[in-house]
């Protein structure tokens, strides 16, 4: 990882400052009025909202400050993404999935994925494979840099399944047990697993696998509420996540379709899970972490920062869609049968002004360039920019310009125009 540490520090400072502006913009929507003695709340966290302690829990020795967690996503969860997840409030980040064989055979690309900065931690490095000895050895090679070693046992991507890795392992509960046992004996850092509820609708075996994993000493379990065969089609089934939580005594993190506050609040209450894993909803939408965290805090009417409580006066605005009204109503939407929330919060991204989005995205590109160089960074940025401004009025008329971005200056010009439109 070739970058200037001093330049990274400068960018982190700028990022913390823009996060303070993000907080102020969101707190205006939530209409949170803090008591005068606590008006310096933004300074207390210094632009790093992952410091906020709310429903904290531990994964072995690792403190997880709040329930909002960034899911690992191939081709997305790089250093920049993790920084932009952590500072808006994410309590735990993940690396992209890396092959255990790549680490064993010292492939440069595999090790590049595992390189972290202190600004992304706590961070779990996620590995995959099908051989217990190989996975354990790979884990030992990267243990020093990771806070947690996570083993993927749920990936539905065909090329992963062909290697009998990822979600394929759900067909072999005994192999899952062997892998966890080997890794736990090999390393000292916490070990977690990411699972799905089963191979297909006729083979839903998450409850048995969860007990095997716990029995072999795994420190936490993440469960995506779909089968492997479903991929990302259909709806996540939270009923099985609830059942897993009821039979194990380790943290359980819920995953799948958590893209708005109503669902986040409901999933936590319904399943009793310890954490919420946010994945596809965060693509080009890093502010979702702070939106969800603030919403959960407001709905619970307390905020823990530096071990003291900040009580809030909450005023609901007339003529405004407000998550506070829903969050405090106790209404329970039945997401298990696929129904959706009947409010504006599915579109959380629209709560952020275009001006702030543009500034946020320009800084995102600066981070990408620092870590990857301008040529590679601007190409990756094209899709990220598309995600960030998805749904903006008249965006189709200028979206084609995103794919012509070849330099930082090209991106800066487009973002300037977006601020003006």
What are 109-127's pLDDT values in tens digits?
999 999 999 999 999 999 9
Cis peptide before 122 (omega within 30 of 0): yes
Quote the pLDDT of residue 396: 73
**Residue 352, token pair as written in the block:** 């952020």
Burial-class residue 108 by CB neighbours within 10 Å (0-12, 13-18, 19+): exposed
Q: Which of 417, 419, 377 is nearest to 401 (CA)?
A: 417
- Angle made by CA atoms 117, 388, 295, in degrees to the nearest 5: 80
Query: What span, in angstroms and rounded, lies between the C-alpha atoms of 214 and 192?
Result: 10
Q: Closest Cα partner for 176 from 166, 161, 186? A: 166
As a whole number of angstroms, the distance between CA 194 and CA 166 comes to 9
- Within 118-260, residue ranges assigned H as helices are 132-142, 158-161, 173-186, 206-215, 239-247
331 backbone φψ class: left, alpha, beta (φ>0; ψ -120 to 50): beta
pLDDT tens by residue, 296-349: 887 765 443 333 233 333 333 322 333 333 333 333 343 333 344 433 344 455
Alpha helices, H only, 188-252:
206-215, 239-247
Exposed / middle / buried, residue 381 (Cβ in 10 Å: 0-12, 13-18, 19+): buried
The β-bridge partners of 195 are 153, 223
**Is residue 90 among the annotated active site residues?**
no
Predicted local distance difference test score (pLDDT) of residue 260: 87
The one catalytic residue in 90, 155, 273, 420 is: 155
Selected residue with higher pLDDT from 67 and 326:
67
pLDDT at 334: 39
Q: How far is CA 279 from CA 38, 127, 239, 354, 403, in A?
A: 33, 17, 20, 23, 24
**Rounded-to-integer distance, Cα 181 and Cα 214, Å:** 10
Sheet strands (E) in 228-321? 252-255, 275-278, 304-305, 308-309, 312-314
CATH class of 354-420: mainly alpha
Enter the pTM of the model. Answer: 0.87
How does the average pLDDT of the chain come out, rounded? 85
Query: Which residue intervals of the chain bear CATH 3.20.20.70?
Result: 44-299
247: number of Cβ within 10 Å: 12
- Quote the distance between the C-alpha of residue 302 and its chain's center: 23
How far is CA 364 from each of CA 97, 228, 371, rounded to the nearest angstrom?
Answer: 22, 33, 11
Q: Which of 163-177, 200-214, 366-380, 392-406 has the least mean pLDDT?
A: 392-406
Domain with CATH 1.10.1200 in the chain: 354-420
* Conformational region of residue 225, where left means phi above 0, alpha means psi within -120 to 50, and beta covers everything else: alpha
**CB-based contact 173:138 (threshold 8 Å):** no
| CATH number corresponding to 44-299 | 3.20.20.70
């Amino acid at each position: 990882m070739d970058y200037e540490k001093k330049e990274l520090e400068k960018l982190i400072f700028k990022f913390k400052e823009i996060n303070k502006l993000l907080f102020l913009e969101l707190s205006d929507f939530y209409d949170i009025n803090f008591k005068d003695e606590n008006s310096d709340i933004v300074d207390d966290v210094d632009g790093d909202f992952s410091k906020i302690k709310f429903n904290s829990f531990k994964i072995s020795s690792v403190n997880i400050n709040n329930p909002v967690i960034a899911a690992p996503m191939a081709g997305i969860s790089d250093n920049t993404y993790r920084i932009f997840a952590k500072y808006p409030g994410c309590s735990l980040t993940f690396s992209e999935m890396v092959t255990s064989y790549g680490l064993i055979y010292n492939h440069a690309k595999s090790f590049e994925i595992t390189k972290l900065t202190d600004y992304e931690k706590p961070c779990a490095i996620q590995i995959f494979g099908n051989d217990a000895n190989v996975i354990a050895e790979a884990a030992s090679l990267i243990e020093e840099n990771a806070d947690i070693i996570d083993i993927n046992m749920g990936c539905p991507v065909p090329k992963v399944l062909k290697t009998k890795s990822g979600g394929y392992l759900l067909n072999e509960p005994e192999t899952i047990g062997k892998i966890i046992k080997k890794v736990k004996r090999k390393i000292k850092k916490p070990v977690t697993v990411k699972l799905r509820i089963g191979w297909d609708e006729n083979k839903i075996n998450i409850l048995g696998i969860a007990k095997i994993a716990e029995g072999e000493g795994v420190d936490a379990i993440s469960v995506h509420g779909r089968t492997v065969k479903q991929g990302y089609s259909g709806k996540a089934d939270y009923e099985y996540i609830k059942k897993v939580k009821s039979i194990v005594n380790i943290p359980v993190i819920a995953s799948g379709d958590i893209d708005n506050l109503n669902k986040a609040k409901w999933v936590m209450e319904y399943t009793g899970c310890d954490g919420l894993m946010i994945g596809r909803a965060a693509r080009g939408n890093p502010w979702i972490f702070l939106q969800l965290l603030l919403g959960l805090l407001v709905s619970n009417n307390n905020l823990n920062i530096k071990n003291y409580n900040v009580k809030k006066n909450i005023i609901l605005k007339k003529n405004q869609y407000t998550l506070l009204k829903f969050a405090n109503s106790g209404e329970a939407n039945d997401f298990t049968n696929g129904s959706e929330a009947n409010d504006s919060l599915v579109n959380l991204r629209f709560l952020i002004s275009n001006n702030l989005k543009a500034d946020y995205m320009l800084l995102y590109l600066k981070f990408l360039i620092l870590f990857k160089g301008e040529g590679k960074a601007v190409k990756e940025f094209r899709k990220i920019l598309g995600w960030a401004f998805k749904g903006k009025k008249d965006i189709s008329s200028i979206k084609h310009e995103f794919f012509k971005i070849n330099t930082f200056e090209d991106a800066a010009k487009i973002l300037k125009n977006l601020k003006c439109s």
